[in-house]
Amino acid sequence: MNPIRAAALPALCAMLLACAPQSPPPHAAPLPSGPPAEPVEGTYRGTSTRFQADRKGCPHPGLVSFIVWDSKFQYRWDHATYIDVIIKDDDTLEGRTPDFTLRGKRDATRIEGDVTNGICGLHFTVIKSLN
């Protein structure tokens, strides 16, 4: 075999392989469309402010703390009154007793709401605790 042909043959094969159609790279998995949802369960702590006080017996604003489990918690109005609250799939809050209504919204690690009996009203803001 001619030495020039012998040297050219591997180069020709390499060029032909480079021009051959390549299989497309595998598709990457699609990235999620945002950060993962924050689980709702946990301990929340914060404060309340008063937005309505038509009687002297209305509770004072102060510290607020509750535990959310299975998208539910109890809001303590006073020493004898607890309001059962549910966090719905759209992150809105709803709680009701015969005398009280509670409405609000959850946003990742923060929950805000208003609770009133028509005479007294408190607004609360709580943040999910890390521990």
Average pLDDT over residues 33-39: 70
Banded pLDDT at 12 (limits 50, 70, 90): low
- What is the CATH topology of the domain spanning 1-131? Porin (2.40.160)
Span 59-88, mean pLDDT? 96
Work out the average pLDDT over 9-34: 58
pLDDT of 28 reads: 59
The pLDDT of residue 13 is 55
* 124 pLDDT higher than 70: yes
CA distances from 127 to 40, 55, 122 (A): 11, 30, 17
What is this structure's pTM?
A: 0.71
Where do the domains of the chain lie?
1-131
Q: Which pLDDT belongs to residue 4?
A: 59
Q: Is pLDDT above 80 for 94?
A: yes
3-state secondary structure the chain: CCHHHHHHHHHHHHHHHHHCCCCCCCCCCCCCCCCCCCCCCEEEEEEEEEEEECCCCCCCCCEEEEEEECCEEEEEEECCEEEEEEECCCCEEEEECCCCEEEEEEECCEEEEEEECCCEEEEEEEEECCC
